[in-house]
A = this chain, B = another copy of it.
Amino acid sequence: MIRLTIWNEYWHEHHNEIVKSIYPDGIHAALKMGLAGDDLHISTATQQEEQHGLNAEKLANTDVLIWWGHKTHDEVDDAVVEAVQKRVWEGMGLIVLHSGHFSKLFKKLMGTSCDLKWREADEKERLWVVNPAHPIAAGVPEHITLEKEEMYGEHFDIPAPDELVFVSWFEGGEVFRSGCTFHRGQGKIFYFRPGHETYPTYYNKDILKVIGNAVRWAAPSGAAAPVRGNHKPLEPIAVKP
């Protein structure tokens, strides 16, 4: 059983009628319903809650965390960000969605600005699988077309991903590395581009399939925690002149 926590900033749903109409109970609730599965125990947390719903106990009991944020990145408490980063290092999986690219958390884990091009123009996005052997692409058609999405364009300022799974084509002429894996400490990270709040992207069954695959992929592998610090020799060391 994978313990999945879906975290949402939950701001637009309170301030924008279009978003509210698409996601009346929040993006986190839509994802919770769409990802439901027998091997998942899913809970949610939002920025409004105390410690943003991510206190030490909650984090300790989370195997994989999904992160959606946009408008209020700066109001996320640095202490919470640091605690989440440490849990990733310990092995918690992390799925960063869409505008989460600019969250304090993602920027700290990447070590780069995570900046990009963007445009809101009701335009078509087509996500192409460029790594069909990857478990995150399992059961997904060779491309997923979203009739209306926000555009994100290169250069996306991230480290070269460990694995590139999706590349997006945009109607307006740009491309984007849309599905990228990273490892930090013992934690596996997947960045997935789609999901602008004014579109019903998180009801698309292929998009949900990708996110669900990513949750399974990012779940901790069960490796023993590495030993670090001062270390006694395993072999004799010659005394030297």
A159 in the interface (beta carbon within 8 A): yes
Interface size counted on chain A using CB atoms at 8 A: 84
B-binding residues in A (CB < 8 A):
85, 89, 91, 108-113, 115-119, 121-124, 126, 128-135, 137-143, 145, 147-148, 151, 153-157, 159-160, 162-164, 167-175, 177, 182-188, 221-235, 237-240
Contact present for A173 and B230 (CB under 8 Å): no
- With A129-B155, A169-B175 given, name 20 new contacts (CB 8 A): A115-B229, A118-B229, A128-B154, A128-B175, A132-B225, A133-B185, A133-B223, A134-B221, A134-B223, A142-B154, A142-B227, A155-B226, A159-B159, A159-B183, A167-B177, A169-B169, A169-B173, A171-B235, A173-B235, A174-B231
Copies of this chain assembled into the complex: 4
* Chain A at the B interface: SS class: loop
Chain B residues, Cβ within 8 Å of A183: 131, 133, 159-160
